[in-house]
Amino acid sequence: MTPIKKASVIGGGVIGAGWAARLALGGIDVAVHDPAPDIRCRVEAVLANAGRAVAKLTSAPQPAPGAMTFAESIGEAAAGSDLIVEAVPERLDIKQRVYAEAEDAAPESALIASSTSGIVPTKLQAEMTRPGRLVVAHPFNPVYLMPLVEVVGGQSTAPEAIEQAMALFRDLGMHPLHVRVEIDAFIADRLMEAAWREALWLVHDGVATTAEIDDAIRFGFGLRWAQMGMFETYRTAGGEGGLRQFLKQFGPCLQWPWTKLTDVPELTDALIDTIATQSDTQSGDYTLADLERIRDDNLVGILQALKANDWGAGRTLAEHERRLMNAQAAGAEPADFAQPVRTFSRRVPPDWTDYNNHMTESRYLECFAEASDALLRMIGVDGDYVASGGSYFTVETHIRHLAEVAAGEPVHTTTQVLHAADKTLRLFHRLHHDDGKLLATGEHMLIHVDLQTRQASAPPAAIAERAAALATAHADLPLPDGAGRGIGQAR
């Protein structure tokens, strides 16, 4: 399948700007069209938030960001695009006008993805010239962090368009969910709508405030749903009998008239004022920008915790990191190995720093550990190799802390192979600021281990040959300053 090189986003609201940020950070050039006079400022603010969040989310090597441009028309944005994301208001007539103009300008092979949260694709594609290229790709806010995207085809959608969309979003680190049956509002929004209607009634009837309802979710079932969903949560509630026992025990209560899900309270001015006033009180002095950053930081923490447990959305994040790391290793050419190899780069996340806003000493070690992992992937010690039963363990480390670096500043490592023979691998890392300043060095001794016996072992010939080739390529380089140095030795 041809990779996506250029995308266009039509509509730069919350969802459109989030799509633009995810695509650009995924290495895809993005052209945005929106007639709003402040569109550039709005989209660039979302892109800045996205960059901050992704820097905290993962240390996996990211592709070079795609170029972000702003087009004067739909046709200008769509021209040459492999993917056109429509994120305009939920009006069928507006969306169909967008498709008509986009189809006139875009290549015939372009995939058109609607971000609609409820209109079925058969209606969307009814007046299109190439309806087989349209899918619904319904994301969740913030698009640059939330993994889920619901992919829905209409009656005229070609199966290969669905396959292309699923692969594309997976490559962007998302979890594409193929909604196999066309239904208004798809799956996730129908579930959220049920809870939303009940919440409106609870406020309307004076049973609960907006803050109390949110507390019921965030301190209660929301935590369970975030990692286990609905049915598996209820399965665990059934004990050894599982979901069958749960339904037998609690099923009768479904007949009780608890909810008002079949009716919606009238959104009178009085109800709107009540909800808005309570919401303003609930948020206190937090601005929208404050809440967005808090939301993103919490999502990052949840995703990282789930990744540590290899569960749910954390597994999606881990799989995306493996793809990024393997791509970095595959992109390294032998010619690159005449000099120390660039193995790691990122901006220093705010939570890597101490009260002085300087990177803490443990994070220097983390940078060097990431550099070691990157070097190992270059010689073939990747996730698949570890799963097969072999790996390298670090047995000795020496770090020199030479200069400070603050949150948000760009850093990178280079790695020189000092020795590679039999079971051992000796690496020398240098951590640099992108302005060239040397921040730290780390010398690491690694031993190849058989993961079944947990004993040192010789690596397979292919791994040993790649490691030896790197050591040979670096043999003529000067011995790094600090190599073999003992603690307290004069600089």
Task: Tell which wins on pLDDT, 439 or 293.
Answer: 439
Average pLDDT over residues 71-76: 97
The per-residue pLDDT for 249 is: 83
pLDDT of residue 491: 63
Percentage of the chain with pLDDT > 90?
70
Distance between CA atoms of residues 131 and 319, nearest Å = 32
**Other C-beta atoms lying within 10 Å of the C-beta of residue 65:** 17
- pLDDT tens string 169-184: 999 999 999 999 999 9
Residue 30's nearest CA partner among 1, 69, 61 is 69
Using a 10 angstrom Cβ sphere, with 0-12 exposed, 13-18 middle and 19 or more buried, the burial of residue 382 is: middle
Tokens 């290969």 correspond to 160
pLDDT at 429: 98
Neighbour tally for 443: CB within 10 Å: 21
pLDDT (0 to 100) of residue 335:
52
pLDDT at residue 355, as a whole number: 87
Dihedrals φ, ψ of 7, to 5°? -130, 155
pLDDT at residue 119 greater than cutoff 80:
yes
Calculate the alpha carbon distances from 145 to 17, 40, 69, 296, 306 in Å.
13, 21, 22, 8, 14
Q: Are 361 and 401 in contact (CB under 8 A)?
A: yes
Q: How many helices (H) and strands (E) does the chain have?
A: 17, 14
Pairwise pLDDT comparison (291 vs 131), residue with the higher score: 131
- Give 398-425 pLDDT, tens digit per residue: 999 999 999 888 899 999 999 999 999 9
> Which CATH code is given to the segment(s) 6-186?
3.40.50.720
What is the amino acid identity at position 49? Answer: N
Task: Name, in order, each residue with C-beta under 8 angstroms of 185's C-beta and a sequence gap of 6 or more.
Answer: 117, 118, 193
User: Does residue 289 carry a pLDDT above 60?
Assistant: yes
Residue 1 confidence (pLDDT): 44
Half-sphere exposure of residue 91: CA atoms within 13 angstroms, side-chain side: 7
- What pLDDT, in 10s, does the model give residues 360-370? 999 999 999 99
Is pTM beyond 0.85 here?
no
| 220: its two tokens | 């209660």
Query: Quick one: pLDDT at residue 149?
Result: 98
Say if residues 99 and 124 touch (Cβ distance below 8 Å): yes
The strand ranges marked E within 451-487 are: 455-456
Q: What is the mean pLDDT of residues 216-222?
A: 93
Greater model confidence, 346 or 206 = 206
- What does the pLDDT read at residue 238? 81
Q: Does the domain spanning 189-284 belong to CATH 1.10.1040.10?
A: yes
Confidence of residue 199 (pLDDT cuts 50, 70, 90): very high
* Average pLDDT value over all residues in the chain: 91
Q: How confident is the model at residue 81 (pLDDT cuts 50, 70, 90)?
A: very high
Annotated domain spans of the chain = 6-186, 189-284, 332-474
Rounded Cα distance, 343 and 332, in Å: 10
Q: Is 6 helix (H, G, I), strand (E, B) or coil?
A: strand
CA–CA dist 45, 95 (Å, integer): 25
pLDDT at res. 332: 57
* CATH, domain range 332-474: 3.10.129.10
Place of tokens 């400022």: 41
Q: Average of pLDDT values for 76-105?
A: 97
HSE (side-chain half, CA atoms, 13 Å) at 305: 9
What pLDDT digit, counting tens, does each position of 142-164 carry?
Answer: 999 999 999 999 999 999 999 99
Residue 350: band (very low, low, confident or very high) from pLDDT cuts 50, 70, 90: confident
Asked if the model's pLDDT at residue 255 lies above 60, the reply is: yes
List the beta bridge partners of residue 445.
396, 426
